Amino acid sequence: MQIVLTQPRGFCAGVTRAIEIVERAIELHGTPVYVFHEIVHNPWVVDDLRLRGAVFVNDLAEVPTDAVLVFSAHGVSNAVVAQADRLGLLTIDATCPLVSKVHLQAQRFVRQGHTLLMIGHAGHEEVVGTMGRVDAPVHLVSVVADVAHLDVPAHTPLAYVTQTTLSLDDTREIIAALKARFPRIVGPEVDGICYATQNRQIAVRRLAAQVDLVLVVGARNSSNSNRLREVAERCGVPAHLVQDEHDLKAEWLLGAPRVGVTAGASTPEVLVQRVVDALQSHTAGERLPIVHLAGAREDVSFRLPPGLTAPNTAALAHG
């Protein structure tokens, strides 16, 4: 048996930035610091920050007046921003800059007079936030079949944007269907899917070609992690999403001499190592060889919001 690890895997720049924003907010303002929704989709990360003093809420009514509130990496709607202002909250925006880029694209298309389509998953925080960033109706397209059911008048100027964590293959199919029905539609092709999502999907395709089983370490509600599992399955390899080592099942390993391991963009490396250690424990003391596949090098980093590095931010915030 052999363990094969992909590269890249785990945290992307947007996730690293979002977690650091919460950590810095706690350092500067003290506890509690409130966070609207999970800062990123990973329970280990959320629980760790909760132990440090972060309080995660899904309704701003749960946040005391004048408290510090962090918007999650997935972004929020204009309505949420306005409500936070009415409540007098000190807000810090941890929206991934690549999600913010999609917000700007959507707003630009609407200003130009286009009717906007959003390619994404219904109910996902990023989709809700993006659709709520424009003051116009937005049509949601989640699967190819939705294209035929779009109720859009003929000759309507159309544009689309995409959720950043989608499957490349699924998104290409949806865009092709949109162009077939609406030849003049404009949009970013698959460029709206973030670099980290693309890199990890390309890496898992290469991984699937060399292993008998793929394990994706990631949260069950993580869009990009679920897409990695789907990509591996499309390559004809059994694949399972595991949140940590406790989700492993011994029967998966039967007849799988080469096990591939990757991780979603919101998964800390410590969980990957726990899964690897658990795999090692199935060998009755024999140490399994670990192969590290080469992959895209990622050196992307994003700046923190203004004020988070200033030594007097907390004093200013509290007068």
Return the active site residues.
126
b/e string for 223-245 if b means 16 or more Cβ within 10 A? Answer: bbbbbbbbbbeebebebebbbbb
CA distances for 282 relative to 4, 61, 170, 254, angstroms: 16, 48, 36, 11
Q: Are 212 and 279 in contact (CB under 8 A)?
A: no
Token output for 222: 């993580």
Token output for 155: 């000759």
Q: Are 120 and 111 in contact (CB under 8 A)?
A: no
- Those residues whose C-beta lies under 8 Å from the C-beta of residue 102, and which sit 6 or more positions away, are 130, 161, 162, 163, 164, 192
C-alpha angle 236-126-199 in degrees, rounded to nearest 5: 40
Q: How buried is 76 (Cβ within 10 angstroms: 0-12 exposed, 13-18 middle, 19+ buried)?
A: buried
Cα–Cα distance for residue pair 146/120, rounded to 1 Å? 11
Q: Are 41 and 222 in contact (CB under 8 A)?
A: yes
Largest pairwise CA distance in the chain: 68
